[in-house]
Amino acid sequence: MIVGISGSPRKKATEYVLREALRILEAQGFQTKFFTVRGKEIKPCQHCDYCLKHKVCRIEDDMQELYGMLKNARGIVMATPVYNGGVSAQIKAVMDRCRALVAADYDFFRGKAGMAIAVGGDRIGGQELAIQQIITFYILNGVIPVSGGSFGANLGATFWSKDTLEGVKEDEEGFRSLRKTVKRFASTLKMLEGDEMAEEKKKKKRVAWGITGSGDRLPETVEVMKKIRRQYPDVEIAVYLSKAGEQVIKYYKLMNDLKENFGAARVEIDANTPFLAGQVQVGRYEFLLIAPATSNTVAKISMGIADSLLSNAAIMALKAFVPVYIMPSDYKEGEVITKLPDGRDLRLRVRKEDVEHVRKIATMDGVFILEKPEDIHGVFKKHFG
């Protein structure tokens, strides 16, 4: 997927040219997504170093949307109007705010390809200087910069708009530089795709499995996950326990079982420690599985309350387009019989209010509800074959 980023606050020349570049790429079979700073709230980087410690940006604004798009991007097309001989303040803010992505994953941009477009109101208004700023961003972060090459598109696509949409449409030389740059960009992407396919065969797959404080069907879930671990030896399953989850795992005497099959379990200290939310958000894990999930965890996700390890991770995952699979302990209204560690039956009532929260999260984009532990097999088959 290719992400096109328009750095203009107006819907005029820069946006028009970028959409034309994406149209050419789509005609060659590439999937594209368009992002514009126009109408968005993207604050400048504050250099507070919060991202270095917590691995996420502390500023909650529209940059979060772009973070999710960039995670899945193979290519990036940045387009900027020329302001005072350089890039726009908006595209500069976008570049600076990407620091949080690299703080969370140093190789986040590594291996992606990038091209640049600059649109100036004057014939010689700083187009190549603006492109150099974008290329510098690419080089610093591991993006492979692609130009149009000699004889017309040395650094990238440059346009003379005369400060009007009509002016840029008449710039034949500008569109020639765009076609040359897009051609080389597409060729580079296809070359990288071949390398990625070879690398994908060797790449380690990772899944995050969260366990809450529900004992209902907990032993059965652990048994299913042990079978899946044997079935998919190349998939790393990282276990994260809520505070109550740790207590229940010990109560059911399953801690040694987890360690023997999945390695050391990571136990919640607070909503960001261990740092599951950020790891999920930057794509370290293929998906997040919460099984079993207490009614409390389900309710928090339903209402957008991110004050615990697993509810925070789920909400951050959904923002970054990472699938979240949840097996609620309170699935259907009525009575259930669950087993205590000593084998005795425990009769419980599933409240209508808890079931309503399950129904609500089931309608959220990216959330998938599992009824029973055996359904987890289908999740792994869907993702890993």
Domain range annotation of the chain: 2-201, 204-384
Give the model's pLDDT for residue 197: 56
Strand partners, 26: none
Please identify every stretch of the chain with a pLDDT value under 50, giving residue numbers as ranges. Answer: none
- Tell me 45's DSSP state: P
- Domain 204-384 fold is Rossmann fold (3.40.50)
The owner of tokens 């840029």 is: 168
In CATH, the number for domain 2-201 is 3.40.50.360
Give the model's pLDDT for residue 202: 55
Give the model's pLDDT for residue 40: 96
Whether 204-384 and 2-201 are alike in CATH topology: the answer is yes
Give the model's pLDDT for residue 250: 96
67, 172, 217 from 108: Cα distances, Å: 11, 36, 38
Give the model's pLDDT for residue 145: 96
Give the model's pLDDT for residue 195: 61
Give the model's pLDDT for residue 196: 58
